[in-house]
């Protein structure tokens, strides 16, 4: 008798915690084949991503190899290119996209996640830097150091100021934490660049609403704004970024900003695979019922950023946060097992425990169980909570060690991958030309961020 095939698509929190639950309760049993398919062979701990960009942590500190997490769940490193719900088949691409294969399933969990949302603006998509993947964080770190090195040699004061101007679009968690970390990193690194004037360094946060971090409420948002402003971060509120070309960040109001770096953190959208599914959707996300199952496709569940489920207590969709994805994954695993055993499925219920944000210089903001915290205590809570949530003891020890060292020593301004991403910055200043052309010819095949 053929084994019952359970496919889990994705490598984020929702997918991995679904697989971990099935690892404990089903995958080891005879007659079941559980397979996790992900384009990356590790789980990325995204809450700490900005610390990699700011050199507070090494890239390896915040990744957990999936093959080390599972003994009975089979792992396949491949990109999901299409899903055929009618014929119960998934098409995957592997070998750098050169080969394809179809895999059949009896039960399916869709947890593909999301991708950066550029709202149809190809100009921004081509030129902006993103902060969603580990590659993004590593390239951003190298880019920042490379721009400092280049600014030293730039004789034109306007061009030098543009190289040292960093614009972040989006005042949510990703944007604010990235801004706080990078502002600390660049300003502390200036001690090693004595010919650069600190007054030439400019950090600008663009936010479409009146207060940043709206998820935490107005009081904490205003506190975060005040702290960032004290640290010489400019905050432009009630404003949107409309374009980015020729080294100019174009806004929907006010003058454009000359900058070699636009960091885009304004939101995400489900990927092309989800868009291609003939299913009911809400804001592009798959609509699921109270069991997180697709209504018209029994035996198919969805978790995380790619789905939309209504919270019975609020009447609104559940937030797309990691804490929700983890718990969604565990419930879906139980429901997969229930469907196999012809038992009633479990309704997903969860109320947000809290939200935290680090805003630089060992300060933060937090709202936990309805209580608000700010300053050093919130920063300490941020580190404590995420250190506890980080999978595997080995990683916890490594991160705690790096944080302890950081209390006594500054980060090294070492550009680990020379010139990666720097040419893109120059091309944004002078469209069609590269100031690095004297050293290397500009490439036409793409930019580092196209790796996502």
- List the domain boundaries for the chain: 4-39+78-116+269-340, 122-266+413-451
**By three-state DSSP, how is residue 40 classified?**
coil
Q: Across-strand partners of 449?
A: none
* pLDDT tens across the length of the chain (452 residues): 689 999 999 999 999 999 999 999 999 999 999 999 999 999 999 999 999 999 999 999 999 999 999 999 999 999 999 999 999 999 999 998 899 999 999 999 999 999 999 999 999 999 999 999 999 999 999 999 999 999 999 999 999 999 999 999 999 999 999 999 999 999 999 999 999 999 999 999 999 999 999 999 999 999 999 999 999 999 999 999 999 998 999 999 999 999 999 999 998 999 899 999 999 999 999 999 999 999 899 999 999 999 999 999 999 999 999 999 999 999 999 999 999 999 999 999 999 999 999 999 999 999 999 999 999 999 999 999 999 999 999 999 999 999 998 888 877 787 777 654 455 555 555 454 343 333 333 333 333 333 33
**Burial (Cβ within 10 Å: 0-12, 13-18, ≥19) of residue 451:** exposed
Same topology between domain 4-39+78-116+269-340 and domain 122-266+413-451? yes
In this prediction the pTM is 0.89
User: So what's the pLDDT on residue 451?
Assistant: 33
CATH superfamily to which 4-39+78-116+269-340 belongs: FAD/NAD(P)-binding domain (3.50.50.60)
Angle at 224 between CA 222 and CA 229, to 5 degrees: 95
Tokens 């650069």 map to which residue? 196
Give the C-alpha separation, 383 to 277, whole Å. 39
How far is CA 339 from each of CA 106, 201, 328, 354, 364, rounded to the nearest angstrom?
11, 58, 16, 32, 44
Strand 268-270 versus strand 114-116 pairing type = antiparallel
- Which one is the CATH code of 122-266+413-451: 3.40.50.2300, 3.50.50.100, 1.10.287.470, 3.30.2350.10? 3.50.50.100
Three-state DSSP at 91 gives strand
pLDDT at 414: 78
- If we measure between CA atoms, which residue out of 366, 322, 319 comes closest to residue 224? 366
Q: Which sign, positive or negative, has the C-alpha torsion 148, 149, 152, 154?
A: negative
**Closest residue by Cα to residue 360 from 129, 149, 160, 168:** 168
> What is the per-residue pLDDT for 416?
75
pLDDT at 445: 35
């Amino acid at each position: 008798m053929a084994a019952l095939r359970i496919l889990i698509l994705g490598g984020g929190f929702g997918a991995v915690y679904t697989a971990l639950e099935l690892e404990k309760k089903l995958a080891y049993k005879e007659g079941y084949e559980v397979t996790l398919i992900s384009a990356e062979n590790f789980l990325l701990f995204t809450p700490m991503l900005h610390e990699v960009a700011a050199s507070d942590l090494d890239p390896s500190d915040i990744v957990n190899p999936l093959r080390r997490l599972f003994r009975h769940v089979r792992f396949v490193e491949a990109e999901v290119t299409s899903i055929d719900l009618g014929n119960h088949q998934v098409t995957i691409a592997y070998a750098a996209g050169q080969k394809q294969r179809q895999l059949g399933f009896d039960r399916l969990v869709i947890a593909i996640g999301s991708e950066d949302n550029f709202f149809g603006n190809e100009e921004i998509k081509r030129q902006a830097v993103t902060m969603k993947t580990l590659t993004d964080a590593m390239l951003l770190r190298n880019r920042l150091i490379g721009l400092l090195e280049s600014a030293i040699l730039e004789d034109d004061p306007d061009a030098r100021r543009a190289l040292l101007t960093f614009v972040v679009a989006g005042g949510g968690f990703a944007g604010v934490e990235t801004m706080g970390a990078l502002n600390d990193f660049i300003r502390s690194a200036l001690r090693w660049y004595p010919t650069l004037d600190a007054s030439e360094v400019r950090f600008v946060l663009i936010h479409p609403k009146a207060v940043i971090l709206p998820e935490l409420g107005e009081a904490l948002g205003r506190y975060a704004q005040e702290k960032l402003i004290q640290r010489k971060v400019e905050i432009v509120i009630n404003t949107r970024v409309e374009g980015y070309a020729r080294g100019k960040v174009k806004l929907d109001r006010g003058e454009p900003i000359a900058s070699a770096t636009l960091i885009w953190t304004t939101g995400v959208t489900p990927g092309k695979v989800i868009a291609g599914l003939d299913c009911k959707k809400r804001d592009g996300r798959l609509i699921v019922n109270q069991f997180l199952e697709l209504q018209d496709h029994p035996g198919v569940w969805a978790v995380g950023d790619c789905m939309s489920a209504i919270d019975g207590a609020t009447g609104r969709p559940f937030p797309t946060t990691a804490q929700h994805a983890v718990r969604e994954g565990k419930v879906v695993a139980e429901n997969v097992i229930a469907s196999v055993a012809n038992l009633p499925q479990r309704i997903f219920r969860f109320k947000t425990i809290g939200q935290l944000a680090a805003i630089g210089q060992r300060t933060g903001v937090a709202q936990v169980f309805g209580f608000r915290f700010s300053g050093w205590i919130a920063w300490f809570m941020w580190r404590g909570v995420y250190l506890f949530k980080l999978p595997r003891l080995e990683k916890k020890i490594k991160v705690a060690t790096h944080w302890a060292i950081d209390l006594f020593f500054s980060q090294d301004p070492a550009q680990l991958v020379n010139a990666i991403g720097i040419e893109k910055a120059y091309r944004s200043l002078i469209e069609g030309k590269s100031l690095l052309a004297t050293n290397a010819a500009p490439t036409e095949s793409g930019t580092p961020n196209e790796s996502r």
